Structure 1
């Protein structure tokens, strides 16, 4: 049985407890039989892969690969994932370049099937990087099974740092945030935006995100998240706003149930 993370309380209380016990809990999680078996299988068999089809036809390998990029739900989309991987990332018309969700582009870039000089999965250190990413994301999922707001907060800390230090332009960084479903969810909750916000014109969304961010931190750009203190600030606000939203929903439901009982 996979180790189940310990979540004490909710909101900021749970977040602070998780931060204090993170090293111990992640080590126990990685050592659990199910996770260690997946990691061992990946290390032993990824070297036999020569093509994208070799990879996508092996479900156990794909479990680790997709899990490492937060794409677990695509495990049964074999044709789609084969197209993503085989087309690579260098061609402008490659499928990964045409999708708003940049996790697919990151996957295609890292493996390099179809790219000049690729693939890269036999380069020293590649296996260890994928294993680490897999363990990190699977631990987040396990935490999320108990409190999804904590999962999103953990994901935000990791992804915001990666994007902020990517060297991309200011607009490109924001579009990457907006194209990541977990990060978008965190930002929309943090800024108290309605569920219909995503239907607005993309330029208006960008302007709104910038304005709301500037109002909180005094800086409207994603590059500020290279600073750990700023990441902590936005995550703490997200958890507070999420808790307020959940409390309001709970109160509304209680009122409705009370009225129905008469």
Structure 2
């Protein structure tokens, strides 16, 4: 059995503990026999895989490949996976470019079956690249088995700075956030938005997300979350509001929960 991450507390206090012990816990998880066996097989075999057909034919290889992009649950959809990989990403009409779930776009770009005459699987450091992603994603999943909010927060630290740093328009950044299941879930919770917002037209959603973020944090451009302080505040507000929504109590020594925004909008901050 793989090492099971320890999360002794829920909420922001638990997040603090996880952060302090992250390096040692992830190292223990990666060193587990199950993870090491999967990685050894991938290293041994992936260099001989030169087509999407070859990859989907080997369930063990496919498990690591999908697991590196958080797509573990799709392992049974081999026809769909093969089609996404074979069409690649260079053609604007390729399936990966049309899917709202951009994890598949990253997946097909990484393997390159549909983009190049020689796929990226033969590159000398390709196995290390995918295994690095696999370890991160699988650790997040293991943490999520203990506490779902912790998994969302880990994904936030990984994905939001990347979105924020992209040289794209403000609207495009919001489209990416809204199209990500984990990022949109964190923002909905932190901003006090109902899940039903997803049923609105995407441009309406962008307007609402931007207005709420402006009211809570003083800016509407997600690019501002590239700053560590802004990302930490969003993470804190996510945990605090999640606890409130679930009916939990919030306490941390002499910490005080304070209302920072007025005029009908609330942003929570835990003063340590």
TM over 0.5: yes
Tell me how far apart the structure 1 counterparts of residues 164 and 119 of structure 2 sit (CA, whole Å). Answer: 26
1:30 equivalent in structure 2: 30
**Structure with the higher helix share, 1 or 2:** 1
2:167 equivalent in structure 1: 167
CA positional deviation for 1:123: 2.3
The answer to whether structure 1 residue 123 and structure 2 residue 116 are counterparts is no
CA positional deviation for 1:122: 2.2
CA positional deviation for 1:117: 5.4
1:92 equivalent in structure 2: 92
CA positional deviation for 1:193: 1.0
CA positional deviation for 1:60: 0.6
Structure 2 gaps, min length 5: 249-272
1:113 equivalent in structure 2: 113
On the 8 A contact 2:50/2:118 being kept in 1, the answer is no
Q: Mapping of 1:44-83 within 5 angstroms?
A: 44-83=44-83
Tell me how far apart the structure 1 counterparts of residues 211 and 129 of structure 2 sit (CA, whole Å). Answer: 36
CA positional deviation for 1:62: 1.1
Tell me how far apart the structure 1 counterparts of residues 102 and 207 of structure 2 sit (CA, whole Å). Answer: 20
Tell me how far apart the structure 2 counterparts of residues 217 and 80 of structure 1 sit (CA, whole Å). Answer: 41
2:218 equivalent in structure 1: 218
2:259 equivalent in structure 1: none
Tell me how far apart the structure 2 counterparts of residues 29 and 116 of structure 1 sit (CA, whole Å). Answer: 35
On the 8 A contact 2:156/2:182 being kept in 1, the answer is yes
Structure 1, residues 33-55: CA drift from partner, whole Å, max 9, x if none? 00111111111110010101111
2:228 equivalent in structure 1: 228
1:251 equivalent in structure 2: none
- RCO higher in 1 or 2 (8 Å CA, sep ≥ 6)? 1
CA positional deviation for 1:167: 2.3
Tell me how far apart the structure 1 counterparts of residues 71 and 208 of structure 2 sit (CA, whole Å). Answer: 28
1:15 equivalent in structure 2: 15
- TM normalised by structure 2 equals 0.88
Further displaced range: 209-218 or 120-129: 120-129
CA positional deviation for 1:178: 0.8
CA positional deviation for 1:223: 1.1
Structure 1, residues 90-144: CA drift from partner, whole Å, max 9, x if none? 1111100111111111111121111145522222432212111111111111111
Structure 1, residues 169-191: CA drift from partner, whole Å, max 9, x if none? 22222111111111111111111
- Closer/same/farther in 2, CA of residues 14 and 215 from structure 1, 3 Å limit: same
- Closer/same/farther in 2, CA of residues 2 and 236 from structure 1, 3 Å limit: same
The answer to whether structure 1 residue 158 and structure 2 residue 178 are counterparts is no
Tell me how far apart the structure 2 counterparts of residues 20 and 226 of structure 1 sit (CA, whole Å). Answer: 21
On the 8 A contact 1:190/1:234 being kept in 2, the answer is yes
Paired positions, count: 248
Q: SS state of the match for residue 247, structure 1?
A: coil
Tell me how far apart the structure 1 counterparts of residues 26 and 32 of structure 2 sit (CA, whole Å). Answer: 10
CA positional deviation for 1:57: 1.2
Instruction: Indicate the RMSD between aligned Cα atoms, in angstroms.
Output: 1.2
Tell me how far apart the structure 2 counterparts of residues 53 and 89 of structure 1 sit (CA, whole Å). Answer: 17
- TM normalised by structure 1 equals 0.91
2:3 equivalent in structure 1: 3
CA positional deviation for 1:23: 0.3
